[in-house]
Chain A
């Protein structure tokens, strides 16, 4: 079903006789036997105030369309949502509602926050077919419970997003990338931690054991006004005491490579996404028999591509963090939770969707 209004979507849920696969454009490639209920029929910008850094947009609007609207005012989605097409091998591009529903963020997440940190308000249809709103379109809002955060990353299990309101940020005047070659994983994470502990406001820190040219590469990004970026690039190199190659501008390609997790694009094998403490990352990667690895967020995010029988979570024993199976079906998609936390999550699903209509079973 592709409702073209919020009311029609609410009616579809209210009159449902069985569960739905809740989708945007399906770019995340989640497999389900249930009929699809998508928000992609709800499109368009409802309100855009560049001077207030706020955008209100219908959930089914393609991400590229949102980015085009923002670019016309020299602004952007600062959390840098990744594009999953490369990993999933799909052709559909993501919707903004899908990005929020899966809390999908890119390299800049470590500096400015995740998608959920930019989500100011939501409208959605809950499992009873009620149209609910929470939050709003202002940056500071503590009025009532924060269901905006709860909906971000709920993967369509608590409601179908119909409209989202987002904080946006200006594009920087320029950006620069420092590149370090040939570091071991442990050396790279140490260098990234040092850079992130500096006052130079690094907005991207990633490491690929096998980079685009086949050898290990570590990249650090700086953004801002030209005079500031050139000063910080020099100061950061001095601070690190390591020899770096420096590229001013024209660094978009490498960050797209990182954002979309290029080393995961080969069609075979499972693709995992791990969130850990950066200093634990090299050890975790060393334990897992993986075909490819990529570190983002200064080591806090690890991408792994491995054979279908490799249980990545078993290799994380004793390590704080969690792993999501982004591509593959040989293990549960989401990390198991402690009994108490799982019970609360289940309790919430029963309140938001008592009949189990919305992506049942996806999150437990």
Chain B
């Protein structure tokens, strides 16, 4: 992974910089010893790592502002970090960067059930937001699969999705306001506990900007009343194209499931061996979950089953109880872990128009044969967000590179059929160089000019999102300052 050459001047000044950071932060909030900064050398994209110059873990918004002000004055790159669960290398450091972690910002500041919002510090984990309101019958809807560990700060930076976003939307649809600190150290409130923030939609712009526009320290989030209940139906097919057609018909029929998940034969077999969920022997499997009262769920599952029957399914298994639901979900939830047992893999995240599913699955099979690498498909079928898992052997020289090349081919395929490179993981360093396949130079230039406004010296998370060659002149003018 090509990263900008670290600034030797900054590396030489490490002792002085650490002392300045220690001067503005409480004891224990600055990590600088090499044996300790190693913990921050990568996120969940573990193939690439680089220890940062130092790590700071501020305890208040004001301390974040002081750190950013210092970094701005000193010309130090800043890599914001939530919980470090990015699969795209969104918080991968450079050797001359200060990692600014939100780990100590995890308080709940306000809960308001009448107005249906919660205000939290951004380092709080996704699941613990729901944890703070569930006793009162509410939940926070976006549920990325890393929700036990991932932080709201990272969710906002990447505009994270999850299994339930077919019905409830992704982070941007559930975010009402932020407190954000600019690279100059200015603290701004954008939006709040009301709908549709005033003026230009800066909130929508900040969400998904991968930590390149500012550091979010507080978030006001929409919370929703829990449904009365939820149950899935499992449907097996002999053919993935048929499964795709069934998904389309369910959606067209006006049923709005909370989730429609798809698994192909490889994933079904691997998870069956791993978890023993009792899945049928078939080529494509759908799990469709609906919500409501018991009677409502029965009625919706009956409608879905009726549609599925038209496609000659291998099996339809509607859950009648919490135990049966858990069993249906068991295989799907253990899919990534199960595949990890048989080999190393990279998890892609392209989105395609649902109508292109048959074509894309066929083409992925061809690529798999061409490259000699196995691919498992497990994904959110309702919204076309695919997660092909390309298997490789990390101990075999050249296999990772081959796997990445094949991954890039699949993502280009997603773009060429009308989709995009990433549906919920973000661009990070991983897909940076592929951006020019989705966007023309003018499109990228205008996006980069947004960063020019928020962060004129390109200090915040500088080598992410945009192809290095496209951002080179902007980053160079920063270094010259």
Question: Residues on A close to B: CB < 8 A?
Answer: 49-54, 73-74, 103, 105, 109-110, 113-114, 116-117, 126, 130-134, 136-150, 152-154, 157-158, 169-173, 190, 193, 196-199, 225, 227-228, 231, 235, 275-279, 297, 300-301, 320-322, 324, 334-335, 337-338, 340-342, 344-345, 347-348, 350-352, 363-364
Given pairs A109-B195, A149-B207, A321-B192, 4 additional interface contacts (CB within 8 A) = A114-B196, A138-B419, A143-B422, A158-B200
Q: Is the CB of A145 within 8 A of B447?
A: yes
Known A142-B158, A144-B438, A198-B225: A51·B204 in contact at CB below 8 Å: no
Known A140-B383, A198-B225, A337-B198: A134·B423 in contact at CB below 8 Å: no
* Chain B contacts with A in 453-473, Cβ cutoff 8 A: 453-454, 465
Q: Is the CB of B419 within 8 A of A276?
A: no
* Chain B contacts with A in 431-480, Cβ cutoff 8 A: 431, 435, 438-440, 442-444, 446-447, 449-454, 465
Q: Is the CB of B114 within 8 A of A278?
A: yes
Interface membership of chain B positions 156-168, coded 1 if the CB is closer than 8 angstroms to chain A and 0 otherwise? 0011010001100
- Which of B44-52, B66-74, B318-326, B347-355 forms part of the interface with chain A? B347-355
B172 located at the interface, meaning its Cβ lies under 8 Å from any Cβ of chain A in the complex: yes
CB closest residue in chain B, given A103: B196
CB distance from A335 to the nearest CB of B (A): 5
Q: Is the CB of B299 within 8 A of A347?
A: no
With A and B bound together, what is the CA distance between A190 and B209 in angstroms?
37
Q: Is the CB of B254 within 8 A of A334?
A: no
Residues of chain A contacted by B426 (CB below 8 angstroms): 142
Partner of B161, one of A140, A170, A228: A140
Q: Is the CB of B182 within 8 A of A54?
A: no
Interface residues on B, range: 35 or more
Known A146-B159, A197-B225: A140·B424 in contact at CB below 8 Å: yes
With A and B bound together, what is the CA distance between A130 and B445 in angstroms?
11
Residues of chain B contacted by A137 (CB below 8 angstroms): 353, 418
With A and B bound together, what is the CA distance between A190 and B451 in angstroms?
43
B8 located at the interface, meaning its Cβ lies under 8 Å from any Cβ of chain A in the complex: no
B173 located at the interface, meaning its Cβ lies under 8 Å from any Cβ of chain A in the complex: yes
Residues of chain B contacted by A52 (CB below 8 angstroms): 248, 251, 353-355, 384
Q: Is the CB of A141 within 8 A of B423?
A: yes
Question: What are 5 of the A-B contact pairs (CB < 8 Å)?
Answer: A141-B422, A142-B425, A143-B422, A170-B252, A277-B192
CB closest residue in chain A, given B449: A351
Q: Is the CB of B254 within 8 A of A140?
A: no
CB distance from A351 to the nearest CB of B (A): 4
Q: Is the CB of A53 within 8 A of B420?
A: no
Residues of chain A contacted by B435 (CB below 8 angstroms): 143-144
With A and B bound together, what is the CA distance between A236 and B303 in angstroms?
24
Residues of chain A contacted by B192 (CB below 8 angstroms): 277, 320-321
Partner of A225, one of B300, B419, B452, B465: B300
Residues of chain A contacted by B173 (CB below 8 angstroms): 113, 117
Known A74-B254, A199-B227: A143·B420 in contact at CB below 8 Å: yes
Q: Is the CB of B114 within 8 A of A334?
A: no
Known A172-B254, A228-B296: A199·B384 in contact at CB below 8 Å: no
Known A113-B173, A301-B195, A334-B198: A143·B225 in contact at CB below 8 Å: no
Q: Is the CB of A146 within 8 A of B199?
A: no
Q: Is the CB of B115 within 8 A of A341?
A: no
CB closest residue in chain A, given B293: A231
Identify which of B194, B208, B452 gathers the most chain A CB atoms within 10 Å of its CB.
B194
Partner of B443, one of A133, A139, A301: A133
B15 located at the interface, meaning its Cβ lies under 8 Å from any Cβ of chain A in the complex: no
With A and B bound together, what is the CA distance between A352 and B197 in angstroms?
21
Known A140-B423, A147-B450: A322·B195 in contact at CB below 8 Å: no
CB distance from B235 to the nearest CB of A (A): 17
- Which of B31-39, B183-191, B389-397 forms part of the interface with chain A? B183-191
B19 located at the interface, meaning its Cβ lies under 8 Å from any Cβ of chain A in the complex: no
Residues of chain B contacted by A53 (CB below 8 angstroms): 251
Identify which of B173, B197, B355, B418 gathers the most chain A CB atoms within 10 Å of its CB.
B418
With A and B bound together, what is the CA distance between A146 and B137 in angstroms?
32
Partner of B204, one of A150, A225, A228: A150
Interface membership of chain B positions 46-60, coded 1 if the CB is closer than 8 angstroms to chain A and 0 otherwise? 000000000000000
B169 located at the interface, meaning its Cβ lies under 8 Å from any Cβ of chain A in the complex: yes
B202 located at the interface, meaning its Cβ lies under 8 Å from any Cβ of chain A in the complex: yes
B346 located at the interface, meaning its Cβ lies under 8 Å from any Cβ of chain A in the complex: no
B170 located at the interface, meaning its Cβ lies under 8 Å from any Cβ of chain A in the complex: yes
Residues of chain A contacted by B299 (CB below 8 angstroms): 225, 227-228
B30 located at the interface, meaning its Cβ lies under 8 Å from any Cβ of chain A in the complex: no
Partner of A150, one of B113, B205, B420, B444: B205
With A and B bound together, what is the CA distance between A99 and B115 in angstroms?
27
Q: Is the CB of B165 within 8 A of A334?
A: no
Residues of chain A contacted by B124 (CB below 8 angstroms): none
With A and B bound together, what is the CA distance between A131 and B442 in angstroms?
8
CB distance from B419 to the nearest CB of A (A): 5
Q: Is the CB of B205 within 8 A of A147?
A: yes
B226 located at the interface, meaning its Cβ lies under 8 Å from any Cβ of chain A in the complex: yes
With A and B bound together, what is the CA distance between A52 and B69 in angstroms?
46
Q: Is the CB of A170 within 8 A of B115?
A: no
Residues of chain B contacted by A344 (CB below 8 angstroms): 188, 202, 453-454
Known A136-B418, A153-B200, A335-B198: A143·B438 in contact at CB below 8 Å: yes
Q: Is the CB of A334 within 8 A of B205?
A: no
With A and B bound together, what is the CA distance between A119 and B243 in angstroms?
27
With A and B bound together, what is the CA distance between A109 and B313 in angstroms?
38
CB closest residue in chain A, given B465: A144
Partner of B172, one of A132, A149, A198, A322: A149
CB distance from A173 to the nearest CB of B (A): 7
With A and B bound together, what is the CA distance between A132 and B421 in angstroms?
18
With A and B bound together, what is the CA distance between A142 and B88 in angstroms?
12
Residues of chain A contacted by B424 (CB below 8 angstroms): 140, 142
Q: Is the CB of B194 within 8 A of A138?
A: no
Identify which of B193, B197, B199 gathers the most chain A CB atoms within 10 Å of its CB.
B199
Q: Is the CB of B194 within 8 A of A275?
A: yes
Q: Is the CB of B254 within 8 A of A114?
A: no
CB distance from B132 to the nearest CB of A (A): 16
CB distance from A312 to the nearest CB of B (A): 14
With A and B bound together, what is the CA distance between A59 and B296 in angstroms?
39
Partner of B384, one of A140, A235, A320, A335: A140
Partner of A320, one of B193, B205, B254, B442: B193
Partner of A345, one of B182, B202, B292: B202
B295 located at the interface, meaning its Cβ lies under 8 Å from any Cβ of chain A in the complex: yes
